[in-house]
Amino acid sequence: MERRIFVRGAGIAGVLAAGVAPAVVHPQTTIRWRIASSFPKALDTLFGVCDDFAKSMGEMSGGKFTITTHAAGDLMPALGVLDGVSNGTVEMANTAPYYFFGKDPTYALDCAIPFGLNQRQMNAWMLEGGGLALTREFYAKVNIVNFPMGNTGTQMGGWYRKEIKSVADLKGLKFRVGGFGGKVLAPLGAVPQNIPGGEIYQALEKGTIDAAEWVGPYDDEKLGFNKVAPFYYYPGWWEIGPQLSLYVNQKAYDGLSAEYKAMIWSASQAAGALMMAKYDARNPAALKRLVAGGAKILRFPKDVMDAAFKSSREVYADLNATNPNWKKIYESYSNFLRDENLWFRFAEAAGDDFMQSQKL
């Protein structure tokens, strides 16, 4: 059988399952891929980035490159997408890489770590500071090509049943916190819980957990956390600029033409930029609605921030000493963060500080 016909009929996933190396898929060839998300379809920001990406791919390819989008639990569990792409069950996935810190904490550096890069700084590190090359070298070990595709901006610090008046109130707190934040909070007495977004409300409502963080006003309002926990804290210091990633199976990607590869890059960048725009445009009105509905907006006490920052430095020092994957990428990440903070301290921070003190 001629290989190109086989690819057209079976699809990339079928070729991979059969153990056959696909011939290069040229732009005139019609192919159909699937993208699995770690997020529920109700979130038109986090899941919506997949729809925006698929739409762009269809338009750029003249309908030749079709991608169907699948919410968490459709093709596989929310936290199963990394393995799903790695082993070729699906060609693509969109997720928050820090969900997989249990496999290796290094995954978090492709998303967010406590007191890390903000959205603009993360974008700069990935595209101009060597971050993309370093993370791709890491992902190559699991047969994945990664692309930045989205960011939420700095998140809120979550919803709590009781006030957090000092670091002592973290002791015994059963807290749903995404990714790496739990490793920093645990030494302070908190009990981290890693629960997918679609399961958080029920756990908070039943008291299985005492507090939960998700993203920010727009998404949190959709999930209804304000109905079961009144205290809404900020900032989400564990997610100052969390980047979402597009995962592509390495063998499937290698089988694409240069034109199709370029389309994936362009479409992922466009969809990611739109995601950030959605959050910046929609969060202000959502925050106003939450406050009007009785949510109590509070800033974390200074001793909580100081203790968490100290804990994060201790965690990173330990990882530098024990995890070569982490050390190699973190060295680049932390050096870039130091220089970015030096720059942002002047024009950016000064401008923001003045404007936010004004009545517009």
Beta bridge partners of 247: 93, 146
CATH class of 3-152+241-280: alpha beta
Using the predicted structure, report yes or no on whether residue 145 has a pLDDT greater than 60: yes
Using the predicted structure, report yes or no on whether residue 216 has a pLDDT greater than 70: yes
pLDDT of residue 239: 96
Distance CA(126)–CA(333), nearest Å, equals 9
Binning pLDDT at 50, 70 and 90, where does residue 340 land? very high
DSSP structure class, residue 41: T
Segment 149-208, tens digit of pLDDT: 999 999 999 999 999 999 999 999 999 997 789 999 999 999 999 888 888 999 999 999
Least confident of 1-15, 48-62, 116-130, 205-219: 1-15
Phi, psi for residue 258 in degrees, rounded to 5: -60, -35
Distance CA(316)–CA(323), nearest Å, equals 10
- Contact between 235 and 115 (Cβ < 8 Å): no
Using the predicted structure, report yes or no on whether residue 4 has a pLDDT greater than 50: no
pLDDT of residue 2: 33
Segment 147-160, tens digit of pLDDT: 999 999 999 999 99
Judge residue 270's burial from the number of C-beta atoms within 10 Å of its C-beta, 0-12 exposed, 13-18 middle, 19 or more buried. Answer: middle
Least confident of 2-11, 174-183, 328-337: 2-11
Using the predicted structure, report yes or no on whether residue 231 has a pLDDT greater than 50: yes
Phi, psi for residue 27 in degrees, rounded to 5: -55, -30
pLDDT of residue 3: 37
What contacts 359, CB < 8 A, 6 or more positions away?
none
Domain ranges in the chain are 3-152+241-280
With b meaning 16 or more CB within 10 Å and e meaning fewer, what string describes 308-318? beebbeebbee
Segment 12-54, tens digit of pLDDT: 554 454 454 455 656 667 999 999 999 999 999 999 999 999 9
Distance CA(227)–CA(232), nearest Å, equals 11
Residue with tokens 């033409």: 257
> Quick one: how far is CA 33 from the chain centroid?
22
Using the predicted structure, report yes or no on whether residue 275 has a pLDDT greater than 50: yes
Distance CA(114)–CA(117), nearest Å, equals 9
State the average pLDDT over residues 118-143.
98
pLDDT of residue 25: 59
Rounded mean pLDDT of the chain? Answer: 93
CB atoms within 10 A of CB 303: 12
pLDDT of residue 24: 60
Question: What stretch of H or E contains 69?
Answer: strand 65-70
- Contact between 38 and 96 (Cβ < 8 Å): yes
Torsion angle defined by CA atoms of residues 282, 180, 148 and 223, in that order, rounded to the nearest 10 degrees: -30
DSSP structure class, residue 228: T
Phi, psi for residue 297 in degrees, rounded to 5: -90, 120
Query: Whole-model pTM?
Result: 0.90
Residue with tokens 């762009």: 56
